[in-house]
Structure 1
Amino acid sequence: MFVRTFVRQRGISRTLLKSIKFNGGDIRVNDEPVRVTRKLTQGDELVVKLPPEPGNDRIVPSFEPLAILFESEHFLVVNKPAGIASVPSHLYPDDTLVNRVKGYLVTTHAANQTTHIVTRLDRETSGVVIFAKHHFAHTVLDTQLKQHRLKKMYIALAKGRFKNRHGAINQPIGRQPGSFVKRMVRTDGKAALTEYWVVKQMRATTLLKLRLHTGRTHQIRVHLTALGHPLVGDFLYGQQTDPFIHRQALHCASVTFYDPFAATTVTCYAPLPSDLARAVTFESRQPGQPLSAVTMANKN
């Protein structure tokens, strides 16, 4: 097998191969530099040295707290709090999750201080977010995302009671006319698939576990709204009525991916945030139980 074929099968893209060749990387077989047209035989040792990555000076490091769930030489998994954007924009230029990860890389004197965000969450959604520490690691996980092998599980509190304990929402999503932000189910949209399981039925709401099989903007929020069950606290697609949670009641609880460098499967869990836990407790209260009793229970 050619070197080129071998490394492509292991996730090194054409773009990265080109960068290795022209930007200071190296490919060696049995400690001798080779071209990608070299043929490998049984027993050969292939070593690929990645090129150095230039830092992105446009990303301002933020030294605000960062909750790390998992870290290795290749990956960094963090727990994003609600209210923090995933990536910088003109509205949030210097204290997003990307800025905080950049600050962490600077503080720890990481060899590569370029941030590679793999998964993203809406600003008001909390939970697990994955970063890659170099271009190759990012390519590996991006491939797993496209092949639906990277598994993301969510916990959500939705309005109403569900008829089925398990179901799949397979409806295309596109932009809502007249809005740059909102999405909607529409026949000419992009394919989107959300799977759900009922965890607990309450009087007026349902606690759900969901898996994203695709990654459309606002996918869970749009799909549940189309089903007639908008998320509790979702001001964009429903109403803000819950006294305990002032955002959409959505949390990325776990992410599972394959780490090819360690040849192991990694699963990271983010604990339920306090505002969502309070909302669930409130919805679970007994009929006629005063709000003060629920508040006291949460304090204890």
Structure 2
Amino acid sequence: MSETYKVLEVEKSQRLDKYLTEKREDLSRAQIQTWIKEGYVTVNEKTVKANYKVQPEDQIVLEEKQPEELDIQPENIPLEIVYEDDDVVVVNKPKGMVVHPSPGHPNGTLVNALMFHIKDLSGIHDVIRPGIVHRIDKDTSGLLMVAKNDHAHQSLAGQLKDKTVKRSYVALVHGDIPHEYGTIDAPIGRDTKDRQKMTVVTGGKEAVTHFEVLERIGQQYTVIKCVLETGRTHQIRVHMRYIGFPLVGDPKYGHRKSIDTKGQALHAQEIGFHHPTTNEWLTFTAAPPKIFTDTLENLRQSY
């Protein structure tokens, strides 16, 4: 399957990999760069490098790379399946589990567990992420949609791109947020000083997070509900740090001294989407893990 794009005047001079990443939000920039290098992308019927600056009227063709034979071993890892039918699975990912294999995490991932418990998974886009439509960080717990076939994958990915999927999180942050409600509309991109981090940056990708205060604990902590309008890498963690209320336990964006919650105190508690086949609106919820609720209870008793 291939897609063709025609560059507009307002889009000129962007790097090719950045241009395509904005067109295809379901693909990572690294993945786009690999496909460009391997010749799956042409500009005016010629192969170019990822840093090629697109020009008005350029005809860009993206030929989707077909999934390779999987080399991932199914693993009998306990998995909380919240919902399953012929098209979709909703799982409650535990804190500390990586979503898909990577150089530093070749096994023990959600994908390894899915391949044991579920026999059919979609194979669109990437050999190491069968069924995975979206991700949450290793130390973020909560709900994820998983596609069991390519039709479901395309539908769910399309809903994410169109911002019609409802994703809400509960988080514990440092500080006393003075407002009951708020919206953070600040673009996110790679931190030029630390490539392992994301940050609010001019020219970054659009990122919008809505939040609501659920509880204040003394003047030191606030429990909030966050609703994602976009789904950028580390979005909630970056946005809350940006406005001065970093997540408790966050080793990358939080305070140096914080409560040990085994990573950021963030849980994807609700997800809603249209079923890929029936178009029925489905909503699922999952309670935060024990370490999250225990931390809240301990703080309440302290203040």
Provide TM-score, normalisation by structure 1: 0.73
**Alignment equivalent of 1:262, drawn from 274, 278, 290:** 278
Contact 2:187 2:201 in 1 (8 A): yes
> Residue type matched to 1:159 in 2?
H
Counterpart position of 1:128: 143
Q: Give runs of aligned pairs for residues 209-288 of structure 1, distance below 5 A.
A: 209-239=225-255, 241-243=257-259, 245-287=261-303
Q: What is the CA distance between 1:260 and its match in structure 2?
A: 4.0
Where 1:118 maps in the other structure, the secondary structure is coil
Where 2:284 maps in the other structure, the secondary structure is strand
Where 1:140 maps in the other structure, the secondary structure is helix
CA RMSD of aligned residues (A): 1.8
**Alignment equivalent of 1:156, drawn from 171, 176, 180:** 171
Distance 2:275 2:92 in 1: 19
Distance 1:97 1:240 in 2: 29
Q: Give runs of aligned pairs for residues 25-64 of structure 1, distance below 5 A.
A: 56-64=69-77
Larger radius of gyration: 1
Q: Percent identity?
A: 36
Counterpart position of 2:196: 181
Q: What is the CA distance between 1:57 and its match in structure 2?
A: 2.1
Distance 1:262 1:191 in 2: 31
1:72 maps onto 2:88 in alignment? no
Q: 1:270 to 1:55 in 2, by over 3 A?
A: farther
Distance 2:262 2:114 in 1: 26
Q: What is the CA distance between 1:94 and its match in structure 2?
A: 1.4
Provide TM-score, normalisation by structure 2: 0.73
- Residue-by-residue CA offset, 1:78-108 (whole Å, 9 max, x unaligned): 0101111111101111111111101112xxx
Contact 1:196 1:208 in 2 (8 A): yes
> Residue type matched to 1:216 in 2?
R
Distance 1:202 1:224 in 2: 17
> Residue type matched to 1:169 in 2?
I
Q: 1:286 to 1:195 in 2, by over 3 A?
A: same
Q: 1:270 to 1:240 in 2, by over 3 A?
A: farther
Q: What is the CA distance between 1:111 and its match in structure 2?
A: 5.3
Q: 1:138 to 1:260 in 2, by over 3 A?
A: closer
Contact 2:87 2:276 in 1 (8 A): no
**Alignment equivalent of 2:95, drawn from 82, 91, 99:** 82
Distance 2:202 2:136 in 1: 25
Contact 1:232 1:241 in 2 (8 A): no
Contact 1:151 1:257 in 2 (8 A): yes
Q: 1:78 to 1:247 in 2, by over 3 A?
A: same
> Residue type matched to 1:194 in 2?
T
> Residue type matched to 1:195 in 2?
H
For structure 1, the 5+ residue unaligned runs are 1-52, 288-300
For structure 2, the 5+ residue unaligned runs are 1-65, 124-129
> Residue type matched to 1:85 in 2?
V
Where 1:94 maps in the other structure, the secondary structure is coil
Q: What is the CA distance between 1:236 and its match in structure 2?
A: 0.8
Distance 2:110 2:235 in 1: 21
> Residue type matched to 2:237 in 1?
R
Where 1:234 maps in the other structure, the secondary structure is coil
